[in-house]
Amino acid sequence: SQTIHQWPATLVQPVGSPLSLECTVEGTSNPNLYWYRQAAGRGLQLLFYSVGIGQISSEVPQNLSASRPQDRQFILSSKKLLLSDSGFYLCAWSKDRGENYGYTFGSGTRLTVV
């Protein structure tokens, strides 16, 4: 069966420090991968998606970047964190663009920038 792993679960980082969040999927190949952010009390905001190795699409301009160095690995990064980067970050995968099976989400990373 397919599983998605996301870590760390919680992170407290000072303003200006770098960030690296990792997400891996097991049990499938060539998944579509997504990074979402959920600010406190708000809905989901799509940050990045990837349909293949090295293929990254950005939905909103921001202080973050994403990379897909391997088929089932998706990394969210920042060189210098801002206070506004705080939030709950969710990785997800899908077999297609989601229309048949939906998205499967990881357990999330709670990031607090202080």
Partner 1 sequence: GDSVTQMEGPVTLSEEAFLTINCTYTATGYPSLFWYVQYPGEGLQLLLKATKADDKGSNKGFEATYRKETTSFHLEKGSVQVSDSAVYFCALSPGNQFYFGTGTSLTVIP
- Reduced to 3 states, what is the DSSP secondary structure of residue 93? strand
Quickly list DSSP for 46-67.
Answer: EEEEEEETTEEEESS-SS-EEE
23 CB burial (10 A radius; 0-12, 13-18, 19+): buried
Q: How far is the CB of 46 from partner 1 (least distance, A)?
A: 8
Place of tokens 């990074």: 35
Residue 90 interacts with partner 1 (CB under 8 A)? yes
| Closest CB to partner 1 among residues 18, 59 | 59
Residue 5 interacts with partner 1 (CB under 8 A)? no
Residue 63 interacts with partner 1 (CB under 8 A)? no
Burial 61-71 (b: 16+ CB within 10 A, else e): eeebebbbeee
Site for partner 1 in 27-46 (CB under 8 A): 34, 42-44, 46
Q: How far is the CB of 58 from partner 1 (least distance, A)?
A: 14
| Closest CB to partner 1 among residues 67, 98 | 98
Interacting residues toward partner 1 by CB under 8 A: 6, 34, 42-44, 46, 90, 92, 94, 97-100, 102-108, 110
